[in-house]
Structure formats: C-alpha cells, structure tokens
Amino acid sequence: MTLDDDMRWFDKTRDLEQIQRIWQEVGWVEGAQEVRAVEDFFSVGTSLTGLVEDGVECAVHVCPGTLRLDQTDLALCAVTAVTTSHVGRKLGFAQRLTSIQLQRAAQEGAQVAALGMFEQGFYDKLGFGSASYEHEFTFDPATLTVPVSTAVPRRLSKDDWVDMHRALCRRMKAHGSVVLEPPSIIAAELAWTANGFGFGYYDGDELTHCLWLSTQDIEYGPLRVEFMAYRNLQELMELMGFLRSLGDQYRSVSMTEPVHLHLQDWLHKPFRRRGISRGSKHEAQHRATSWRQLRILDLPACVAALSAVGPVPPFRLEISDPIGCVDGVYTVSLGQTSSAKREESTELPMIRASVNAFSRLLFGIVPASTLALADDFDVADALAAELDRAICLPAMRPGWDF
C-alpha cells in the first residue's frame, strides 16, 4: 500500500523512543516500568506513524483478534491505540492513518473492526458506530450475596502473562466477545496497571479461571477488576466469591459487569448502599456507557454470521462507506442461512444506509426502526418492523478492554 510522504510503517529501532516520548507527553504512561511496557505493546500488531520534519508525532496501532457475532467468531482488526503528540495535533494524522490501517486489514482478511473512543463523533467519519452500553459497578464487596469461595487460589504476578492470556482466549464467550491474539499484548496491559496483582485457580498446569486487580490505595482500595476469565458459570461464581472475601479489608470494588451476570441481583440492598456512600471515596455506583465502536469490513461475512435470525424477505441494500471497504449495492437475505451478494435487484424493497448504521443493525445494537429515526438509515416502515422482529441479539459484551 502506497503511503504519503509524511507517513511510514513503524520500525522499532528507529521509532520506539519517539513513541515512548509521545505516550509520556499525553499522560498515557509515567515511570520507567510503564515506559518500558510501550515496547512490549508495539512489539505486536502493526503500527503506522505520521511524521513532522521526519519525526514521529502520531502512531496508530492495530492488533488482530476475533469478535463474536451471534455464534460466529469474525476476524477482528482491533484499533488498540491512536496517539498524537501535542506537535502533531490538527494535521489530520489520526483519521488518515486509521483509514489506511483499516483498508490494509480488510485486504488481509479482517471482517470487522472495533475501538474504544475518546468521544463520540470523531471515528464516525471512518464508518464506526457506537456499540452496546457496558455497565460499570462500584460496590462494597462485602455486600455480594454469592457464597464465599472455599477454594484456595494462587497468587498471579505480571510474569504469569502467558497463562492469563491463554485463560482469556479459552474463557466462556457470548455475543460480542473479543479475543486479542498476540499474548504479549497482555504483558503490556499488566505493566500499566497501578499496583497490579492477581489470583487464579489451576487444573494441573492450566490456569482455568482468574482475575487481575489494581488499586491506588493498597490498604483499603478502591479495587479495580481489570479483567476476569472463566470457562463456566461455576468458575464465575468462585471468582465472585473470592471478591466477596476481600470485603474484610477493601471498602469498594469497581468492575465492568461480567458477561454472564446481572450484577445488581447479587448485591445486598444496592440502593441503600448507594445513598449511604454518596460523596465518599467508596461511593456505590452503577453507570452505563457506550464507549466502544465497531464497523463492518466484510459485509458478506458479517451477514452470513447471522445464522439463526427470523426470516426476512430479501431486500436491496445501498450502503455507503467513507473508506470504501463495503460501499455498493447488495441483495441481502436473512434467515436460518443469511447472505449478502453484490448485485442489483431493483424490484426488491430497498434500504439506504451508512456502514455505521448497518453495522449497528447487524450486531443487534439498535433496532431498524430506531436507526431510521436517529441514524443514516432509510427504510420503509414495514421492512423496519420485520427487521426489528428478526434481529434480537443480546447486548454485546466484549469481556476484553482495549
């Protein structure tokens, strides 16, 4: 792929020190250990840099993985870092470099892309649409009503990153679950956690289920559950029971709601605790935020992953894509076997949509009738109603922050 004169692919020997400087400048890392972790992070995936007077002032890092749509794991291009220095701002680097990374990933077989956004609106220009809400809880671990675990866990350290990556890859998954494939990306994530420590359970040499924690206050917390991995619901309950046992010392824990729990069901008098703790360092909270975005890179592959939706008569889809990966006209059929083919069928009902909006439809984030109100999605009321009935997926739950 031909690059502009002010771009080049990342070279560790030439560019690493400049990228470490950028990450320190924008406050993403501090201290020698965290700066060294940048090297682990950029040792995997692919990075494209933007140059000012031959110096690196922007870097877009992507990493391969998978993202589950319904029951199918799609090839994922995870945009894992977009970092621009103070010198490189307002030069268009972030958008241009990310666009090239997405086009390259699509050419190499990526079927979907995802990222975490700093604010809604910027990545919409590249075809991304906002994903499902993720629920963030802060609670007193002593108020968990799960049984306290009697099994004795092993301590985990940052040196156990290979085992933890393997456990995350083998964990119990659901619609929207993400896996990032290069193991050393976890080594970098562990290095960036403040006062990080972990616990896990082994079956022989296999780490079966575990959690990784961080805290600013080692004595009383709050604790933060950075991630957890488990193969079944019994193991999930064991991890939650271990968290409850920490309530003897720590006053609060914050975490993203586990994929397979409705966490409020497992808290004793959550509204009372919220009122009592209001304004304190350990305030009980429950917030829902959509801070992740995704977009289709391979429309036929993503449509085919919807293998058990309610049947919808074939329709014509005219889809627009600002980076040109999927734009065009398709005939789409949804049912036990779903498909999207590049062909014109003028007699069929028609949908005109941006890739942003159609991505949100396929992943069950927003129903067709709502998209028609609030997004770039033009559809007849009757077809919208059929799509609303047919695509009934649960909320996306990635289970892996990036």
**Does 2 have pLDDT greater than 90?**
no
Work out the pLDDT band at 40, boundaries 50, 70, 90: confident
Q: Hey, what amino acid is at 74?
A: L
Q: Is residue 30 part of a domain?
A: yes
Given this model, what pLDDT does residue 97 score?
A: 98
Given this model, what pLDDT does residue 150 score?
A: 86
> Please, how many CA atoms are within 13 Å of residue 358, restricted to the half-sphere of its CB?
28
Both 163 and 303 in one domain: the answer is: no
**Does 345 have pLDDT greater than 80?**
no
Work out the pLDDT band at 33, boundaries 50, 70, 90: confident
Read off the CATH number of the domain in which 62 is found.
3.40.630.30
Both 148 and 241 in one domain: the answer is: yes
Given this model, what pLDDT does residue 192 score?
A: 85
Q: Work out the mean pLDDT of the chain and round it to a whole number.
A: 94
Both 101 and 150 in one domain: the answer is: no
Both 341 and 376 in one domain: the answer is: yes
pLDDT digits (tens, 9 = 90+) for 317-342: 999 999 999 999 999 999 999 999 99
Given this model, what pLDDT does residue 194 score?
A: 79
Q: What is the mean pLDDT of residues 239-268?
A: 95
**Does 31 have pLDDT greater than 90?**
no
Given this model, what pLDDT does residue 216 score?
A: 83
Burial of residue 13 (CB within 10 Å: 0-12, 13-18, 19+) is exposed
Read off the CATH number of the domain in which 303 is found.
3.30.1050.10
CA–CA separation, 13 vs 47, rounded Å?
13
Q: What is the mean pLDDT of residues 225-230?
A: 97
For the chain, give the number of residues: 402
Query: What is the domain count for the chain?
Result: 3
User: Which structural domain range is residue 310 located in?
Assistant: 298-389
pLDDT digits (tens, 9 = 90+) for 94-105: 999 999 999 999
Query: Quick one: tokens of 386?
Result: 């059929």
Tell me, letter by letter, the H, E, C secondary structure of the chain: CCCCCCEEECCHHHHHHHHHHHHHHCCCCCCHHHHHHHHHHHCCCEEEEEEECCEEEEEEEEEEEEEEECCEEEEEEEEEEEEECCCCCCCCHHHHHHHHHHHHHHHCCCCEEEEECCCCCCHHHHCCEECCCEEEEEECHHHECCCCCCCCCEEECHHHHHHHHHHHHCCCCCCCCEEECCCHHHHHHHHHCCCCEEEEEEECCEEEEEEEEEECCCCCCCEEEEEEECCCHHHHHHHHHHHHHHHHCCCCEEEECCCCCCHHHHECCHHHHHHHHCCCCCCCEEEEECCEEEEECCHHHHHHCCCCCCCEEEEEEEEECCCCCCCEEEEEEECCCCEEECCCCCCCCEEEEEHHHHHHHHCCCCCHHHHHHHCCEECCHHHHHHHHHHCCCCCCCCCCCC
pLDDT digits (tens, 9 = 90+) for 41-80: 999 999 999 999 999 999 999 999 999 999 999 999 999 9
Of 262, 289, 316, the domain-final residue: 289
- Tokens 């909320």, located at residue: 395
CA–CA separation, 42 vs 81, rounded Å?
10
C-beta of residue 100 within 8 angstroms of C-beta of residue 1? yes
**Does 191 have pLDDT greater than 90?**
no
Q: Is the pTM of this model over 0.85?
A: yes
CA–CA separation, 119 vs 294, rounded Å?
14
pLDDT digits (tens, 9 = 90+) for 8-26: 999 999 999 999 999 999 9
Both 359 and 379 in one domain: the answer is: yes
Q: What is the mean pLDDT of residues 113-127?
A: 94
Both 215 and 304 in one domain: the answer is: no
Question: What are phi and psi for residue 297, nearest 5 degrees?
Answer: -115, -25
